[in-house]
Every structure is written in structure tokens, then in C-alpha cells.
């Protein structure tokens, strides 16, 4: 009986916090603004300085709630990642989301700027959620920032 009560309490608490988590998600417009800002920063400051800043987690310009920047080369190799440093240097061109979508191929195919949607684990909620990413091409790289569905 105590286990059941604890389970019910846990479910009630989760249900009560789920709308708060969703309300704290950034919007696609905010993702687009960050991607454009990151692309401009990369153009102005070059990869070495830019990638270091994009990877600094307590830096608010390129980290805001569930928003972060990642940068890929044309082959889908991670050059910079705002929340997962172990991915840097990894080729992800064959990576698929939970539905089997090879979304990195769509991301690196962007010619100037565009949106790509896929499912990914939200670093804040830890749940797999729909993500809509805005991609900006900067030379031989793409700058990516995505917003999780609210």
C-alpha cells in the first residue's frame, strides 16, 4: 500500500511539473535568433574563438534554458557542441532519431538557412521530444540551434 501511495504521489508531482518544464522551453523564434547570432559571431571571430565560446555552458549568449549551439562540417562531423563535449570530432552523418530519420543529412544539406525537425533528448527534461532546429550555413560548416516542442 505504501508503494502505491508513493507511486501515485510521484505521478502527481510529475504531472504538476510537466507544464512548468514545457513553459520554460525556448521558442523556435528564440532558436532562430540564437543561430543567427552564433553564425554572425563565427563569421566575425573565426572557429577557434567561436567554438570555445559556444562550448562554455555558463555563457548566457549561446546557452539559454534548453537552447544551445552545435556546429557541424559538411560531412556531419561535430566541430563544436554546447552541451556534449564528447561528441566533438565524431562523425554523425548516419545518426538517426528515434523514428529512424537521418536528420544530420538534412542538416548538412541546408544551402543557406532553413528549419529541420527531428526528435531528440531534451537536456533539461531528459525526455525525448520533438525538436525544430534552425540551421545557418557559414562557409563549409552549419550552425544549428533547436527548440523543443512546447
Report yes or no: 55 and 80 within 8 Å, Cβ to Cβ.
Answer: yes
Q: How far is CA 78 from CA 85, 103, 108, 130, in A?
A: 9, 14, 11, 21
Report yes or no: 122 and 83 within 8 Å, Cβ to Cβ.
Answer: no
pLDDT at residue 93, as a whole number: 97
pLDDT at residue 10, as a whole number: 32
Domain boundaries, the chain: 26-148
Q: What is the pLDDT along the chain (150 residues), one digit of tens a residue?
A: 444 333 222 332 333 333 334 458 899 999 999 999 999 999 999 999 999 999 998 889 999 988 999 999 999 999 999 999 999 999 999 999 999 999 999 999 999 999 999 998 887 788 899 999 999 999 999 999 999 875
pLDDT at residue 25, as a whole number: 83
**Cell match 528515434: residue?**
98
Helix and strand counts by DSSP (H, E) for the chain: 3, 6
The CATH superfamily label for domain 26-148 reads: PAS domain (3.30.450.20)
**Cell match 552523418: residue?**
93
pLDDT at residue 124, as a whole number: 75
The closest alpha carbon to 42, from 64, 57, 62, 59, belongs to: 62
Cα–Cα distance between 133 and 55 in angstroms, integer? Answer: 18
Amino acid at each position: 500500500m505504501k508503494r502505491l501511495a508513493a507511486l501515485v504521489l510521484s505521478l502527481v508531482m510529475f504531472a504538476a511539473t510537466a507544464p512548468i518544464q514545457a513553459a520554460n522551453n525556448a521558442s523556435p523564434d528564440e532558436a532562430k535568433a540564437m543561430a543567427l547570432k552564433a553564425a554572425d559571431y563565427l563569421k566575425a571571430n573565426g572557429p577557434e574563438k567561436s567554438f570555445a565560446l559556444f562550448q562554455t555552458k555558463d555563457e548566457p549568449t549561446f546557452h539559454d534554458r534548453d537552447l544551445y549551439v552545435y556546429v557541424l562540417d559538411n560531412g556531419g562531423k561535430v566541430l563544436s557542441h554546447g552541451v556534449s563535449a564528447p561528441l566533438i570530432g565524431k562523425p554523425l552523418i548516419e545518426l538517426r532519431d528515434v523514428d529512424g530519420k537521418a536528420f544530420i543529412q538534412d542538416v548538412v544539406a541546408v544551402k543557406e538557412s532553413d528549419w529541420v525537425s527531428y526528435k531528440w533528448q531534451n537536456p533539461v527534461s531528459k525526455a525525448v521530444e520533438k525538436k525544430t532546429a534552425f540551421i545557418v550555413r557559414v562557409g563549409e560548416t552549419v550552425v544549428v540551434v533547436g527548440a523543443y516542442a512546447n
